[in-house]
Structure 1
Amino acid sequence: MLHSKTKWQSPAADPVQSGELVRRLSVSPLVASLLVARGMNDPEKAHSFIEGAMEEDHDPFLLKGMKEAVPRIQKAIEEEEHILVYGDYDADGVSSTSLMIHLLRHLGASFDIYIPHRSNEGYGLHNHALDWALQQGVSLVITVDTGISACSQIAYANDLGMDVIVTDHHEPPDVLPSAYALINPKLPGCPYPFKGLAGVGVAYKLAQALLDGQVPEEWLEIAAIGTVADLMPLLDENRAIVRRGLASMRRSKYPGIRALLEVSAVRVERVDAVNVAFGLAPRINASGRLDHAGRAVSLLTTEDPAEAERLAEELDLLNKERQMVVDRIVSEAIARLEDRLKDGKLPSIIVLAGEGWNVGVVGIVASKVLERYYRPVIILDINPETGNCKGSARSIPGLDIYAALSSCADMMDHFGGHPAAAGMSLHRDKLDEFAAALEEFASSVLTEEDFVPVFTADGEYTLPDLSLRAAEELELLAPFGMANPLPKFIVRGAVVKETRTMGQGNRHLKLVLQQEGVMVEAVAFGKGELAELLPPGTGVDVLAELSINEWNGSRKAQLMLQDLAVPQPQLFDFRGARDAAGRLGRLLDVLLPQTTGRQELAAAVIRKDRLHERELPEWQGTSFWVYDQYKGISPLDDLPGEGIAGKQISLLYLLDMPESLQQLDALLQAFPDVQNIALLHSLREERDRLLIPTRDHFKTLYKWLAAIAAEPLSEQEALLRLTRQSRMSLRMLKMMLDVFEELGFIRRERGQVSFVTRPAARDLASSSRYTHLSELAEMERYFSEGSTAELQEWMEARRLGVS
């Protein structure tokens, strides 16, 4: 049994409404149900969504502050004032800055740009940058994707004689800066009908206002990048920006965008929002995280193909470096946390700090640690010289991280954010107190249910539903992103037909699934470790996205697995494997939840003569049971009351096979609810195995004994002679002699054996030792030679027999 990483939910679309859409729009039932589930239950509304008619292009002058900003900028251009574009270092800020460069070039303006360095300066408008601007002769500052909270800095700019126009999309504070003009759809009293614009979206509206709506179509490519990268809702005007931007990008004239697509291994003519989110955006963001965002701005604004190719390669290398830095910090953070967990339980909120944890990537690290443990996470970089810490927080739906930080605001120098993510700074001397205060707050808010991630899919379907035609039709709903996510489907009861790994280090998993006569390939990135747990014939439930795989001119439907589960108990066949303790660790990581005390859910059964192995560090926390000659199986450690301990176990290791059927039955009875059994016992060499005894075996042995043991003979000598004549193992022969002794066919006295010439007639079946040998040989055959399916079926039959 393999548990899913998340709890799946799926709304059921109204079949009547779906049927109406199928009839009126001539779409598949799948697409119709998706439209209904996303609120497009009216045929006219659904048709408008598909055709893009709902994507409005609102009047830019509806934005509060636009009427003041436009004439001020026009005046600056006419009078040849020097303008400063002040941006931000993330992908939205880079896109906003780049769009303003294209605009001001188009208008023939004199301008400079300034983007603060993430690590050295941090977010927002800075007075020293304004001092520099004054030296450059700047008289007008236009901020993009920043500035709405910069009250003191804008007041300083005013004192220096510079006007400031703020274009931003972040939540405005209660007290607004005294700028020449504030443009933000979220401003109180702003009549603009769509509040979800990205920073680059606001900059694009400024361009529309200045150019009387005659904005070059290719500028939408840059607006689309920032909108997708900043996770803005792809509805209303954003849907139009991204849809048109992607269409332009497929024939892009920008050398920088074409070069960036190439290093991202994205075919220009097929670029979509997903490619932007996972290909372009990380490389643009890498510039601001590890270097300076100006490099990314240069890429999006250059007209030189050679420079574009060089810059794109540099960003690609920075992104690879960023990935390595993130992987290193994640490993260090997890190791530090796991070390703490040896003596306690997982905290309600995880707070970790370390020197050399690049502040530009701590947010990504926090996200990855959250994904592993599903707890709110704060990761901080410690400056070893000053002791100052800068960090990022990521949270789960059950905890408002901004509220949590507000509860201990006096411990921090600065903090800010929203319910899901935040940033903060404090001194390392406050870290322990900070973590304790957050833990107290979080533990009072969070419940066990909050620690189970919930994933909402678009519905439950079968593999025949997820056809190539269905995958092609999904494009009707594109572009996909925030508020219009790529559809995800639940498929239950599919059967694995093929399993293999792929990619460097076998990191990725590829399956062929079958259901109702239809076979579909499925790929799961980063899940290669599951391959040995999903042999052919395994029944699985999957949560997946539907895509199209194109190869050598062939197109077919393909599932991209997001999560999967095996709903029935499993038997993992690692018979004869070396490094049993290593297998334990890997199975624990995959099968059991990432919570404290997870090893308490695992038990190992072993022979008494091997108990010294349990002292190895890898086995710490695992309960041990031993085979017992009289009880069948006994707990080695002090465990809770009778019958309770075994029921708590979800993963059982057989480090040795049972020595009798009684031991096997006792084992199955002790662990009635075990979800998974892993076979890690060694295999007997063939010369030492038992054969299922037949009458012919005993007839042959009887004749040999009659020939060699008419007179008393050393049993050792007798066995030596018998092994020369027989292919049976010495162990088998000894047990057959036990049967003959019980039946009175031989005598054993003082190490000697003699043949009884006229024994009483006895049936083999009357011998308890014959029955024992037969049962033991059958059991060993299953445990040594039987297929996994045969052994599992046989053990299940035994379990039902003893339950």
Structure 2
Amino acid sequence: MVFKFAQAFISKYREHFKIREGAEKWMLDMAGLATLSDMVPLLGENRAIAYFGLKVLRKSPRPGLQKLLAELRLEQKYLTEDDVSFMLAPRLNAASRMDDPARAYEVLTTENETEAGTLAGHLSKINDERKIIVAGIMREVKKNFTRREMREVVVVGNPNWRVGVLGLVAGKISEEYERPVFVWGRDENETLRGSCRSDGSVSVVELMTEAKDSFLEFGGHELAGGFGVLTDQVHLLEEKLCLSYQKVKRKVSPEENFYDVKCDLGSVSMKNWREVERLAPFGLRNPKPVFLFEGVRVEGVKKFGKNGSGEHLEIIFKDASKNTAKAVAFFASADSFQAPLVPGALVNLLATFDLSRFRGREELRLRIADVCYPNNENAE
């Protein structure tokens, strides 16, 4: 909205304020950053803003952006939509979750190199603190789940939980337990507030609308939202939302193991990667193409991660034609998929292309979407 306003303003007052031709194009870095950081369909004008926004981001002279990229060891000229969504955006969002939203504005607008470096370091620090807090809440949630029934809609909360991180918690629970999730805490005004995420089966806004008498306020879109809940209603909320779930229109689940193209590991080439990249940037409603590699053998499994954490996997696969390919799975274990990843296992692999430029070394690999048994009919 701000970018469209700026476009219209410049168009009307260009001559009056002597604004140079094309000046608004250099604002696309921020418009692109916002679009790629949000859960909006990358279609139509959104796609155009994201596409050209990335081009400007790769050349942007903003000191704060450059310092953030340096913190992340990302080369600006190769910045991708994944870098923005999974690395830049979380650090900028950490400002509002853990500190003051102004810190994110300041790092993107400062022209002072020293201040930019200080702000970028601060955002990285509080983002690490945010991860620790979320991990702690998730441990508490999982402990709670061992003692309770899992219903169609999950509501969980604690007045001591930090409200700013609850959207992340809700997203993690929804992804792992595959159902809509509402998580609440208590804010600085002693009001019970929270965030909700959908697993894609139903709109959280429709759920809340159906149970509106339980809320002080609510809003959002189909997949994510926020709410304030009445104190005397919070412990009845799960029951009411489960009743809502039975009333609202639900979506039919897509085929479990969807893929776009069936091929062998010999197809993992820079030539094919360049063809796929012509469809980028990828995101909501424009997902990365998923490739099915049938009957591939797990040759080796290795763990890796920051400071030896072992939170990620690197796997070598080989097909019947002796083609091999490296694949990675982030924040996953050998048992995270339908078929376990053990050396010697014969599996069907569902994956997307992934070009790594870690430490300046270019390497084409696969990013695992799922792994299943070769005789699994759902993978056909």
Q: TM-score range by the shorter chain?
A: 0.7 to 0.9
SS at match of 2:111: coil
Provide the C-alpha distance between the structure 1 equivalents of 2:40 and 2:249, rounded to a whole number of angstroms.
Answer: 28
Secondary structure of the equivalent of 1:510?
A: strand
C-alpha change, 1:424 and 1:236, in structure 2 (3 Å) is closer
Instruction: Tell me the TM-score normalised to structure 2 length.
Output: 0.86
Q: Work out which of the residue numbers 237, 241, 252 in structure 2 matches 1:434.
A: 237
Instruction: Please list, as runs of the form range in 1=range in 2, the aligned pairs for 1:443-522 lying within 5 A after superposition.
Output: 443=246, 454=256, 456-503=258-305, 504-515=308-319, 516-522=321-327
- Work out the CA distance in 1 between the residues paired with 2:24 and 2:235: 54
2:370 equivalent in structure 1: 563
TM-superposed CA distance for 1:480, in Å, is 2.3
Q: Which amino acid aligns with 1:557?
A: L
Q: CA deviation at 1:293?
A: 1.1
Q: Secondary structure at the match of 1:259?
A: helix
What letter corresponds to residue 389 of structure 1 in structure 2?
Answer: L
CA displacement at 1:309 relative to structure 2: 0.8
Query: Aligned residue for 2:47?
Result: 239
Residue 431 of structure 1 aligns with an amino acid whose one-letter code is V
What code does the residue aligned with 2:350 have?
Answer: L
Other structure's SS at 2:348 match: strand
In 2, Cα distance between equivalents of 1:385 and 1:294: 20
Q: Which residue is equivalent to 2:193?
A: 390
Partner of 2:352: 545
AA aligned opposite 2:173: V
Q: Report the CA distance shift for 1:524/1:211 in structure 2 as closer, same or farther (over 3 A).
A: farther
Out of 227-236 and 250-259, give the one that drifted further.
227-236
- Against the structure 1 CA distance between its residues 416 and 262, is the aligned structure 2 distance closer, same or farther, given a 3 Å change threshold? same
Instruction: Label 1:552 to 1:508 Cα distance change in 2 as closer, same or farther (>3 A).
Output: closer
Q: Please name the residue that 1:46 is paired with.
A: none
User: Structure 1 residues 550 and 290, CA, compared in 2 at 3 Å: closer, same or farther?
Assistant: closer
1:268 pairs with 2:62: no
- Over 3 Å counting, the alpha-carbon distance change for 1:419 and 1:480 in structure 2 is closer
Q: Is the 8 A contact 2:3 2:27 kept in 1?
A: no
Q: Which residue of 2 aligns with 1:352?
A: 156
Aligned pair in 2 of structure 1 residues 310, 557: CA closer, same or farther (>3 Å)? same
**Structure 2 gaps, min length 5:** 15-20
1:528 corresponding residue in structure 2: 333
RMSD: 2.8
- Whether contact under 8 Å (1:417, 1:423) holds in the other structure is yes
Cα 1:232–1:439 shift into 2, 3 Å: closer
Q: Within 1, Cα distance between the matches of 2:160 and 2:34?
A: 30
Shift of the alpha carbon at 1:300?
A: 0.9
- 2:213 aligns with one of 388, 401, 410: 410
**Amino acid aligned to 2:347:** V
Q: Give 1:506 shift.
A: 1.9
8 A Cα contact 1:397 1:450, kept in partner:
no
Tell me the residue number matched to 2:203: 400
One-letter amino acid matched to 2:244 = F
1:455 to 1:209, Cα distance in 2 relative to 1, 3 A: farther
The reply on whether 1:368 has 2:175 as its aligned counterpart is no
Map Cα deviations across residues 50-92 of structure 1 (whole Å, 9 max, x no partner): xxxxxxxxxxxxxxxxxxxxxxxxxxxxxxxxxxxxxxxxxxx
Alpha-carbon distance in 2 for matches of 1:493, 1:255: 49
- What is the CA-CA distance between 1:443 and the residue it aligns to? 4.2
2:89 is the counterpart of 1:284: no
**For 1:211-234, what per-residue CA distance to the aligned partner results, in whole angstroms no more than 9, with x for missing partners?**
546325432211211111123333
Larger Cα Rg: Structure 1 or Structure 2? Answer: 1
Listed as ranges, the matches of 1:30-429 within 5 Å are: 199-210=1-12, 212=14, 214-341=22-149, 346-382=150-186, 386=190, 388-429=191-232
CA distance in 2, matches of 1:470, 1:314: 40
The 1-side partners of 2:360 and 2:99 are apart by: 41
Measure the CA separation in 1 of the matches of 2:100 and 2:69.
21
Q: What is the TM-score of this pair, normalised by structure 1?
A: 0.43
For residue 231 of structure 1, give the secondary structure of its aligned residue in structure 2.
coil
Query: Is 2:192–2:229's contact at 8 Å kept on the other side of the alignment?
Result: yes
1:204 offset after TM fit, Å? 4.0
- What corresponds to 1:601 in structure 2? none
**Paired AA for residue 461 in structure 1:** C
Shift of 1:486: 2.5
Alignment-derived partner of residue 17 in structure 2: none
Question: Aligned partners of 2:8 and 2:360: how far apart in 1?
Answer: 44
Q: Give the SS at the match of 2:199.
A: coil
**How much has 1:427 moved relative to structure 2?**
2.8
**In 2 relative to 1, CA 226–299 (structure 1 residues): closer, same or farther, beyond 3 Å?**
same
Q: For 1:528, give the aligned amino acid.
A: S
- SS of equivalent to 1:241: helix
Q: 1:529 to 1:519 in 2, by over 3 A?
A: closer
Q: Distance in 1 between matches of 2:89 and 2:34?
A: 8
Q: Kindly tell me: are residues 486 and 210 of structure 1, through their superposed partners in 2, closer, same or farther at Cα, counting changes over 3 Å?
A: farther
What is the match of residue 650 of structure 1? none
Q: Tell me if the contact between 1:496 and 1:534 (Cα under 8 Å) persists in the aligned partners.
A: yes
Letter of the 2:240 counterpart: A
Give how far 1:500 is off: 1.8
The answer to whether the 8 A contact 1:468-1:556 is kept is no
Letter in 1 for 2:327: A
Gaps of 5+ in 1: 1-198, 570-803
Aligned residues: 365
After superposition, where does 1:640-789 map in structure 2 within 5 Å? Answer: none
Note closer, same or farther for the CA distance 1:453–1:321 as it changes in structure 2 (3 Å cut).
Answer: farther
Sequence identity of aligned pairs in percent?
30
Does the Cα contact within 8 Å between 1:207 and 1:215 map onto a contact in 2?
Answer: no
Partner SS for 2:284: coil
State whether residues 318 and 325 of structure 2, in contact with CA within 8 Å, keep that contact through their aligned partners in structure 1.
yes
Q: Shift of residue 568 of structure 1?
A: 6.0
Tell me the alpha carbon deviations over residues 365-405 of structure 1, each in whole angstroms, 9 at most, x when there is no partner: 1110001110110000035984x310111123332322222
**Is contact 1:391–1:425 with CA below 8 Å preserved after alignment?**
yes
SS of alignment partner, residue 506 of structure 1: coil
SS in 1 for 2:233: helix
C-alpha displacement of 1:560:
0.9
Cα 1:258–1:556 change in 2 (3 A) is closer
Deviations 1:290-338 (A, max 9, x none): 1111111111111111111111111111211122221111221222122
Deviations 1:656-688 (A, max 9, x none): xxxxxxxxxxxxxxxxxxxxxxxxxxxxxxxxx
